[in-house]
Amino acid sequence: MDQTLKIIGYVRSEIKDINSAPKMENEPGAVQVRLELDPEYMEAMDALAPGCELDLFTWLHKADRSTLKVHPRGNKALPKRGVFATRSPDRPNPIGLHRVTIVAIETPTTLIVAPLEVIDGTPIIDIKSKPNKTK
């Protein structure tokens, strides 16, 4: 069984510094970004369209993987908690989960999505579309 994590693409964002990135995609400072996927995954994009809501999974490559406890939201006035009880990017396996919407499909392997709070160059590890709500 192959347990290798595959990077399927990269985020291209105007956010360049981890310290200036918002904590969540629904906070001020989250931006529209470009998702550039490896051409190997072009067929996997079939049926994606503008307006589709996605769960985007990223590898938070600047995270501290040795961190086990943090002050929630970096607020030192709050007591430390285990990272599994927080949304901290610093954790043993720094997988980011982001809810975004496709704004446009720029090329067969490039999506424009918003809002997203990660820095430029963040690896993409998976994309899952939100289920369509049918009546």
The tens place of each residue's pLDDT in the chain, 135 residues long, gives 888 899 999 999 998 987 777 666 666 567 899 999 999 999 999 999 999 999 999 999 999 999 999 998 888 999 999 999 998 889 999 999 999 999 999 999 999 999 999 999 999 999 999 876 544
Q: Are 111 and 97 in contact (CB under 8 A)?
A: no
φ, ψ for residue 73, nearest 5 deg: 55, 20
Q: What pTM was computed for the model?
A: 0.88
Phi, psi of 83, deg, nearest 5: -60, -25
> Under CATH, domain 9-129 is a member of which superfamily?
YaeB-like (2.40.30.70)
